[in-house]
Chain A
Amino acid sequence: MNPVKDSEPYHHLQGTVPASETGDLRVAQSPVLELRDVCCAYEPNRPAVEHITFTVLQGEILCLLGPSGCGKTTILRAIAGFERVVAGNIALSGQLVSSPDTLIPTEQRHIGMVFQEYALFPHLRVEKNIAFGLNHLSRPQQKAIVDDLLALTGLRGLEHRYPHELSGGQQQRVALARALAPRPVLLLLDEPFSNLDPDMASRMRQDLHTLLRQTKTTAILVTHDHDEAFAMADRVAVLRRGWLEQFDTPEAIYHLPTTPFVADFVGQADFISGLVTNKLVVTEIGEFPNTKNFPTGTKVVVMIRPDDIHIVPTKGADARISARQFKGSENLYTIQLRSGQIVHSSESSLSMYEVGTAIALRVVATHTVLFPQPPGSGTDT
């Protein structure tokens, strides 16, 4: 029961986009989109989102992540100009587009949008759908762009079909090609994979990521699925009840969540109460480094993920296995400690222990995170 003391390896992740991935755009590029203190409300006095501030850089892919009703789609629609902001402002390419008394119409914002339901024009063939935003160009120019996009999205041969003659994945590609055709400064995607079956969704995710990089498109993607956000994003904004909880790289969000909500939302997490004594945090399952330098005597909560807890069957030990969930690639054990506290452990898919087995825990604390204990709460968060 000796926690590994070093939680350093993940510290460098905080607040930095890995240079290898984006070619260190942070230094070179100006922001494409800036939200400053944005508030939106569908009804007065019932804000949908509050005080949202973030920037998106040229070529970056940002994910807005959160449970349903957290306001992520509202932010997307505010950026598109479909919703007004009641406070704060939004700037696109350095120009003010939304503020409480400014609303540049959507069509002048040069953004692209892919809706959850794709919203293909049912009365137009695939090629006409893609060329819809290219009206200002000549026919040959339109055709050249449409041909490029058909090739890029793998839709060649389908250009004369109507939307209802396409599969879900094909429809999504058309929606994407249509949005990319006018070369938008920013592409907005609202839950683009939620209508596809899981296999298709993960393939499309790969393809979309490649396509966005190839076309150097700046994009914001809304999702409630943290796996999707982690796979796609350069940076992730986690939202809860209209508030921005954390804005950071996927790695930092997972390993160094700044709030218990984020910790819980982006993966399985247990919260164990502890007491700061002598520069260490003492808990029921062991001692952890006091990474946040809380003063001695502070009551804190330690977040720990199941892959850091391992099971050692030990006769006479206090903890017991109370459930096993077979997940194919792993076994997730639910463990009840003597105090009644529940923790989880992820074991290999071949390690099988009976429910009720007495066990000891071996904790390898790579991503423990400390939070001050919320006043009045018990052991479990």
Chain B
Amino acid sequence: MNTATRFNAPSPLQWVSLVTAAALVLPTGYIMYLALTAAPAVWNRLWSTRIPELLWNTLSLATSVALTTLVLGVSLAWIMVRYEFPGRRLWEWAVVLPLAMPTYVLAYVYAHLLGMGGPTEQWWQAIMGSEAKLVSPHSFPGVTLIMALDTFPFVYLLARSALLNLNVSFEEVARACGVPPWSTLWRVTLPLIRPAIAAGLALVILYVVSDFGAVSLLRYQTLTYAVYQQMTGRYDQSAASILSLLLVVMAIIFLVTERWFRRRSRFYQTSGRFRTSTRRHEGILGTILITAYVLLVFGASFGIPAVMLVQWSIAAVAQGALDARFFGFIWNSSFLSALAAGGAVLIGLPLAYLASRRPSRLNLACLQAAYAGYALPGPVAALAVLVLFTHFVPALYGSVILLLVAYILHFIPVGLQSMEPALQQVTPNVEEVARTLGCTTRETLRRVTLPLIQSGCITAWVLMFLQTMKELPATLLLRPVGFDTLAIRVWQEASEEYYQLAAPSALLIVLLSVPALLLLVAKDWRGRDRGVIT
């Protein structure tokens, strides 16, 4: 009994987490700084030329996608929660699958499906005459459709969980007051799930605003795409950082909106015991209509694209696409992703641990700093890392290290979202009991805490691995010369309209993403109301 300790000495762990947090906000801070100190002439040029158009394009696209996902997501959630029809349990899961398809994959499939001379146009012209035109995938409605088909599950998931947690007594009270069913829906049910829907829409908008894959393949000018172009075409870093600043501000606005509504939605839901609504059994006609609708949405968003990918892949394999180069891409992707995910777990763990065990203002701030990556679209994360390294450590430019740093910065929030609840589930009592049984802090960590959060860390690793595997813009901008990954190959082949060649890589990415997505949704549906961010 001799190691009496003094008060308030900051532990090594504290230092580690402080340094990490600082390192994670540094790149973002630096481009903010570059943007704000850019020459007024650059600001003026951008304001008078590009910015109004880019802002309009980005915001109008976000709005139209949000409205489309609102209709799709809420209607599907309503059907899945309130109706019973054959295969409902399967459909409930199936309509989440579009989240496993990166936007650049969906965009490239649709570029073929809806493109000039594509199958849909031929079919349409056979009916409507040879002059009939379809909506172009490169047009505003085309991009809207593709983005909406990829993102409506965000709204679906949140609306579904809100409807399931809705105390049916509210509706029964309304009916008892003499309000007919249709108007009960408008006056009671929808207002009650409104915060959840709003949170879902904010997530959709965030996704659209920061998307690079679809807009770059469809050549639709948004802010995110413009940042990429400034960096590759014009090598204008100060213009790129000004556009990035706008993007980050927008992203933060929608992130805050999403959090606010999500917190609010808890007040609208009944905790504890309550009755949920029963599912309605429809007649034959109703069942056919419902099934047709669900089938249509699923087919357009996942079914048909998946079938196309399989067909193309078979054709590509027959032509010998699975050569040594292809396996080289797989190796590059896996190697990078595994390193990035591992690094992020190691870096994220001290932050999450301190925030849950010693939730002082400082420790919570460190954790929040790690979430900064959320507000960075891929090209912006790449820009941030690039300018920081070229200005201060130019020797590392062009190495894999830049890529790893960008990945960790960009995806550590995804990992923290799995590690944080895992740590919170370990009650401090369990650790304290280990101390009374003679374990030091370090032994307690090794024998109790780490074994208990192991599965949470593995989940975090898997999710970050897959996110990195799918990542496109940062990889494009930062990879060493000639270093190709699966995602890069899909994008490059698709840009050149080699649809078949792109298919095996795309299919592989989708196939790997599906189990991880289902894992995440299953966790969410087991009761804890945590966000599914893909």
A interface residues (Cβ-Cβ under 8 A, vs B): 80-82, 84, 95, 97, 101-113, 115, 117, 119-123, 132-133, 135-136, 178-179, 181-182, 184, 188
Contact = CB atoms under 8 A, between A and B. Distances in A.
Interface string B437-449: 1111100000110
Given A104-B1, A121-B448, A123-B452, A80 B7 contact: no
A107 B490 CA distance: 57
Interface stretch (B174-182, B371-379, B427-435, B520-528): B427-435
A111 to B, nearest CB: 6
Given A119-B427, A123-B451, A133-B438, A104 B3 contact: yes
Given A103-B5, A105-B441, A121-B433, 4 more contacts: A97-B1, A108-B3, A113-B436, A132-B437
Contacts, number: 82
Interface residues of B, number: 23
B204 to A, nearest CB: 38
B4 A102 contact: yes
A108 B436 CA distance: 8
Interface in B267-309: none
Given A133-B438, A178-B437, A182-B437, A119 B430 contact: yes
A117 B427 contact: yes
A178 B433 CA distance: 9
Given A105-B5, A121-B448, A182 B430 contact: no
Contact of A107 (B4, B430, B438): B438
Contacts of A117: 427, 429
Given A106-B436, A107-B435, A178-B437, A122 B429 contact: no
Contact of B429 (A102, A115, A135): A115
A8 to B, nearest CB: 45
B6 interface: yes
Contacts of A120: 430
Given A95-B1, A104-B1, A104-B3, A119 B438 contact: no
11 contacts: A102-B4, A104-B3, A105-B435, A105-B440, A105-B441, A108-B1, A115-B429, A121-B430, A122-B430, A135-B438, A136-B438
- 6 cross-chain pairs, A with B, having the tightest CB-CB distances, nearest first: A133-B437, A119-B429, A106-B435, A113-B436, A115-B429, A119-B430
Contact of B436 (A84, A112, A123): A112
Contacts of B3: 104-105, 108
A104 B4 contact: yes
A103 B4 contact: yes
Nearest to A133: B437
Contacts of A135: 438
A300 B6 CA distance: 50
A105 B5 CA distance: 8
A273 to B, nearest CB: 46
Nearest to B454: A123
A115 B430 CA distance: 9
Contacts of A102: 4
Given A104-B1, A105-B3, A119 B437 contact: no
Interface in B1-59: 1, 3-7
A295 B447 CA distance: 66
A379 to B, nearest CB: 43
Contacts of B440: 105, 107
Given A97-B1, A133-B438, A119 B433 contact: yes
Given A122-B452, A178-B437, A82 B427 contact: no
A190 to B, nearest CB: 9
Contact of B439 (A101, A107, A179): A107
Contacts of A121: 430, 433-434, 448, 452
Nearest to A99: B4
Contacts of B441: 105
Given A107-B438, A182-B437, A182-B438, A119 B432 contact: yes
A113 B434 CA distance: 10
Nearest to B439: A107
Contacts of A101: 4, 6-7
A245 B93 CA distance: 61
A59 B430 CA distance: 27
Nearest to B3: A105
A110 B436 CA distance: 7
Contacts of A133: 436-439
A84 B4 CA distance: 12
B436 A179 contact: yes
Contacts of B437: 107, 112, 132-133, 178-179, 181-182
Contacts of B430: 119-122
Contact of B432 (A82, A109, A136): A82
Given A108-B1, A122-B452, A123-B452, A115 B7 contact: no
Contacts of A178: 433, 437
Which among A103, A106, A122 has the highest number of chain B CB atoms within 10 Å?
A: A106
Which among A80, A102, A121 has the highest number of chain B CB atoms within 10 Å?
A: A121
A7 B448 CA distance: 56
Given A105-B3, A122-B452, A115 B433 contact: yes
A179 B438 CA distance: 11
B438 A113 contact: no
A113 B433 CA distance: 7
